[in-house]
Amino acid sequence: MALTKKRIGDLVEIVDERNDLGIRDFYGININKEFMPTAARTDNLDESKYKLVTNGRFVFSGMQTGRDECIRISMYTGEKPIIVSPAYTTFEVKATDAILPMYFFMIFMSKEKDRLGWFYSDSSIRSNLDWDRFCEIELSLPPISIQQKYVDVYNAMLANQQSYERGLEDLKLVCDAYIEKLRRDIPSQKIGQFLLESDRRNDLDLPVDSVRGLATSKEMIPTKADMKGVSLGNYKMVMPRQIAYVPDTSRRGDKMSLGFNNTDEPLLVSSISEVFGTDVEKLLPEYLMLFLTRPEFDRYARFNSWGSARETFNFDDMCDVEVPIPDIKVQKAISDIYAVYVDRKHIDDRLKERIKNMCPILIKGSLEEAGV
């Protein structure tokens, strides 16, 4: 057996199919090479101009490849079609006698190929990887039989992860069912009477490692900002079990940037953030987070934001939010179930990362086997 070399341009073809089906499931791709629902507002978008993505079709974006050191590419494996921005390039593998579509995708699940994309990207400010340059990349390919062998290994790992993920969604449904039952059985109350606003600045001289960003996924994440030379004295402290959010809702689509400090250490967030805790004898912050992480809260906050150039949802607006508040023991029981869901979701994320990291090893194994 021997390896063959093929240019990407000889293996794929552009498929520019527009959305004439009325589909309004808008998606993009991230640097993890995953499809994700678009964060931008879609109310007034003309969906017919968007590109259709069906099972087995690839989506590519060469924008900012050099800046991010990542080739944004993903293969869609869902059964229900979705749509992506016309700025994306959509394509399919045409030379299926030379390369399997899934094997093609596995090749690009490696840092090595991301670095190659960075090398091929242009000298513009955004360091784009143009489609023509992408098509010039040459791939070493083993015979189809060997490709299939390693694709089968990858698919088996993926099937195990997806099985775990389905169990995860079942657990989420249990939490949602509890919440809906509470809404039916218990009158909602404004939460302001139970909230404790905090404006404590960095009087502990916490270091830059303590700075966190607030994500629309409702998590506190390591900051992506350049902190070189930034004074942290005015940053707000978020103590354990406190909640922080960004009042500005005008630049994040329809989602709030919000997070909960579930660690045992104080953290820092930007001074523009609102920070608060709760009267834990009457309202558990973990229970409150169940409501603040739901899509309907995002819609509520966006609808009740005020302003001109920037629309904000301030602390007084947060105080007006209404939720059912049962006995503290009931709150804890539901929060505990949700905590299990969150822990298992993190395990699922780690499983995905491990599978992704296995791809370069599988590709290397297939090349070595064919090269013998």
- String of DSSP letters for 324-336: E---HHHHHHHHH
Tokens of 132: 């023509």
Residues 109, 353 contacting (CB under 8 angstroms): no
Q: Which CATH architecture has domain 4-141?
A: Alpha-Beta Complex (3.90)
Q: Which CATH architecture has domain 187-325?
A: Alpha-Beta Complex (3.90)
Q: Give me the DSSP letters along 214-252.
A: E-TTS-EEE--S--TT---TTPEEE-TT-EEE-SB-TTS
- Is residue 297 over pLDDT 90? yes
The CA-atom distances, in angstroms, between 212 and each of 181, 223, 225, 345 are 35, 5, 10, 20
Global pTM? Answer: 0.77
Q: How confident is the prediction for the chain on average, in pLDDT?
A: 91
Question: b vs e for 24-62, b when ≥16 Cβ sit within 10 Å of the residue's Cβ?
Answer: ebbbbbeeebebeeeeeebeeeebeebbbbeeebbbbbb
pLDDT: which is higher, 310 or 234: 234
Tens digit of each residue's pLDDT (9 = 90 or more) over 243-289: 999 998 876 667 889 999 999 999 999 999 999 999 999 999 999 99
Instruction: Please check whether the two domains, 4-141 and 187-325, share a CATH topology.
Output: yes
Residues 88, 19 contacting (CB under 8 angstroms): no
In angstroms, the CA 123 to CA 31 distance is 20
Tens digit of each residue's pLDDT (9 = 90 or more) over 12-65: 999 999 999 999 999 999 888 999 988 777 778 899 999 999 999 999 998 888
- How sure is the predictor about 318, in pLDDT bands with cuts at 50, 70 and 90? very high
Q: Where are the domains of the chain?
A: 4-141, 142-173+334-372, 187-325
- Residue 189 bridge partners (DSSP): 323
Query: What is the pLDDT, as a whole number, of residue 372?
Result: 57
Residues 55, 131 contacting (CB under 8 angstroms): no
Give the distance from CA 291 to its chain's centroid: 20
